Chain A
Amino acid sequence: MSMADMIPVAIELLRLSGRDRVYTILSRVFKDQSISPAYRRRIRPLGASVGLSEVEVDEAISGSPNVTVLPSWLKWVLVVFVVVVLVLSAIAVTGSYVPWYRNPTYVPGTDYASISPKDFL
Chain B
Amino acid sequence: MHCGSAAGNARSDELTTDEALQLCDDLKGIGCQGVAMMGGEPLLRKDWPVIAERVRKVGMDLSIITNGYKITESKFQRILDINPELVTVSIDGGHAAVHDKIRGVPGSFKQVVTTLRRFVESGLPTGVITTVHKMNLSELPAIRRLLLGTGAAWQIQMATPYGRLTYDHVLSKEEYYSLALFIAATRKRYSKKELMIAGAHDMGYFSRVLPPLQVYPWQGCQAGISTLGIESNGNILGCLALPPKFVEGNIRERPLKEIWNDDAFSSYTRRVRRTNLGSECASCTYSKICKGGCSAVSHSMAGGLHRDPYCLRLIEEELKNKNS
* Chain A residues in 8 Å Cβ range of B324: 38
B320 touches A39 (CB 8 A): yes
Chain B residues 170-229 with CB under 8 Å of chain A are 174-175, 177-179, 181-182, 184-185, 188-189, 206-212, 217, 219
A13 to chain B minimum Cβ distance, whole angstroms, is: 7
A113 contacts partner chain B, Cβ-Cβ < 8 Å: no
Q: What is the total number of residues of chain A having a CB less than 8 Å from a CB of chain B?
A: 28
* Cross-chain contact B185 with A59 (CB below 8 angstroms): yes
Q: How far is the CA of A16 from the CA of B184 in the complex (A)?
A: 19
Q: Which listed residue, A9, A42, A50, touches B322 by the CB 8 Å rule? A: A42
Distance A1 CA – B211 CA, assembled complex (angstroms): 24
Contact A52 B185 (CB under 8 A): yes
Please, which residues of chain A bring their CB within 8 A of the CB of B181? 43, 46-47, 50, 52, 57, 60-61
Contacts of B212 in A (CB 8 A): 15
A22 nearest CB across to chain B (Å)? 14
> Cβ of B209 and Cβ of A46 under 8 Å apart?
no
* A47-B185, A50-B140 as given contacts; A1 in contact with B208, CB under 8 Å: no
B167 interface contact, C-beta 8 A: no
Residues 1-39 of chain A: 1 if any B CB is under 8 Å from the residue's CB, otherwise 0?
A: 100010011001101100000000000000001010011
Which of B185, B189, B209, B219 interacts with A64 by CB under 8 Å? B209
Query: What is the CA–CA distance of A49 and B175 in the complex, to the nearest angstrom?
Result: 8
A58's nearest neighbour on chain B, judged by CB, is B185
**A contact set with B: CB distance below 8 Å:** 1, 5, 8-9, 12-13, 15-16, 33, 35, 38-39, 42-43, 46-47, 49-52, 56-57, 59-64
Question: 9 other contacts beyond A39-B320, A63-B209, with CB at 8 A cut-off?
Answer: A9-B285, A9-B288, A12-B289, A35-B209, A43-B177, A49-B138, A50-B137, A57-B185, A60-B184
What are some 24 contacts across the A-B interface (CB < 8 A)? A1-B288, A9-B286, A9-B288, A15-B217, A35-B209, A42-B319, A43-B177, A46-B174, A46-B178, A47-B178, A49-B175, A49-B178, A50-B178, A50-B181, A51-B138, A52-B185, A56-B188, A57-B185, A59-B189, A60-B185, A60-B188, A61-B184, A63-B208, A63-B209
